[in-house]
Structure 1
Amino acid sequence: MSDDIKVSGFKSSELIAGLQAGFAKTSDSERQSLIKKTNGIFELQVSKDGQVATWTIDAKKTGTVYKGKATPKADVTIILADDVLVDLASGKLNGQKAFMTGKLKTRGNIMLATKLDNVLKTAKAKL
């Protein structure tokens, strides 16, 4: 399943596939806890060399990660470069700093965007 989530040429593809695997390994109770804490759908629009890959993290209804636009509509859309997403996930870059310096843009519920870090950490802990 993780191969169909990858987009060739994007470093963040491995990260997203890992996130998907991490979500798959969480127990139902852990997933429900994450959904209760987060209650949001994140759409990631990641750009690299003029291309844009879109992934969705559903931490509101299903606790899943998939390639493509959010259905239902995302609560927050996060627009960033491939390298920026990799740096955020690895902890090299702080989300607030990325936002303040224009490396990360949002549409929708900006306060929900601050919860993405917790979602990434939860899934990474499962790997």
Structure 2
Amino acid sequence: MSVSADGFNASQLFETLQEALKDDKLAQKAIKDVKAVLVITLKNKGGKEQSWLLDFKNDASIKKVDGVPKSDVQLILKDADFVKLANGKANGQKLFMNGKLKVKGNMMKATAIESVFKAADPRPKL
């Protein structure tokens, strides 16, 4: 099932992560490190909202969802800010302090997601 959403730059990141999680070793590490169900709700330049469910509690899966399902933590931010955050070009704490990132639920679980994106990053580590 595609996790891509028209008009969202983050779609590529979710597809990359979904592909990376097919590696059982990475999937098991993600579950071990995060132990949570996360919902990431993004708003694009056109004002459209889309949510993705990242299950790092049961099966290390990603789904594009309508509405906001029950989760341990929800991150709400702009598509562009999420892309910067996932690429390590923005600091989650700074985005949060500046009101660009809203967190509902367990904030400690929200910080754990960063390690999953780093582990799934296909770019060479320098």
Q: Deviations over 1:75-123 (max 9, x none)?
A: 0000000000100011110111111111100101011111111111122
Q: Which residue of 2 aligns with 1:61?
A: 58
Report the secondary structure of 1:33's partner residue. Answer: helix
Q: In the TM superposition, what is the alpha-carbon distance from 1:56 to its structure 2 partner? A: 1.1
- Which segments of structure 1 move beyond 3 Å, counting only runs of 4 or more? none
The amino acid that maps onto 1:114 is T
Task: Say if 1:125 and 1:10 are closer, same or farther in 2 by CA, change over 3 A.
Answer: same
Unmatched 5+ residue regions in structure 2? none
* Pairwise CA RMSD: 1.9
Q: Which residue of 1 aligns with 2:38?
A: 42
Aligned residue pairs: how many?
122
- Percent identical pairs in the alignment equals 36
Unmatched 5+ residue regions in structure 1? none
Contact 1:41 1:70 in 2 (8 A): no
Report the secondary structure of 2:51's partner residue. Answer: strand
Q: In the TM superposition, what is the alpha-carbon distance from 1:38 to its structure 2 partner? A: 1.1
User: Normalising by the residue count of structure 2, what TM-score does the alignment of the two structures yield?
Assistant: 0.88
User: Normalising by the residue count of structure 1, what TM-score does the alignment of the two structures yield?
Assistant: 0.87
Q: Which residue of 2 aligns with 1:8?
A: 6
Q: Which residue of 2 aligns with 1:17?
A: 15
The amino acid that maps onto 1:40 is A
Give the helix-richer structure, 1 or 2: 1
